[in-house]
Structure 1
Amino acid sequence: MADTERLICRADELQNGRHGKRFQVTLYGQTRNAFVIRWHGKVYAYINECQHVPIELDWNEGEFFDLSGCYLVCATHGAYYAPDNGYCLGGPCKGRSLVKLSVVEHDEQVFWIDETTHG
């Protein structure tokens, strides 16, 4: 089984608690919108879908953090999530989690690891 790395963006495009980058993934034959952010120096990626109602989180493209830069927030429902694990800390879906994706950073770039690809 071999995982495939797919380029998302340059590493310097992601700053702690600031704008994220949107991208698309295909999981088990279904194309999904996703995003990557940087939090405390590490990159994290999730499917771009609130756990309350399946709607994208960002209020403007790439704006996933609240004004404090401490939480990911759903612009529609106000649910807020921990950036490092996607756990909903408050709002209508408290206790649920965003769908986390595997990402890696190397060679000054950020990649999604497509774990559904088998070689």
Structure 2
Amino acid sequence: MAKRSFLQSVGDALAGVATTWRTQRSFRIQAGLTAALPVVLAWLRPPLVFSALCLMMAMLVLAAELFNTAFERLADHLHPEHHPAIGAAKDCAAGAVLLVCAGAGLVGTLTLVVVFAER
């Protein structure tokens, strides 16, 4: 396998994000919420650690969605027909995204509790 430059690797990664953006509605929604997050955090002015946790969780949600999309595309390519084991594996990957989203929701809720408890 040929070595790739750093810029080529970044380009490949951005192509993956672009593909996911074009094909996954949930990713577009999550990316929109992530883009709005800095504005909301600037308005609420939570403690810095909560801002960092919120931003980190938002990025983890997007990363989980990218992993899920990659897994689903690979599974569909290797075995296009329905197979119960592949369906279960895809469900597990979607479950991982759900858990990360739930964690992000909890961090967001705790951030709001802290912000409004201080006021």
TM-score, normalisation: structure 2? 0.28
TM-score, normalisation: structure 1? 0.28
| Larger relative strand fraction | 1
| Larger relative helix fraction | 2
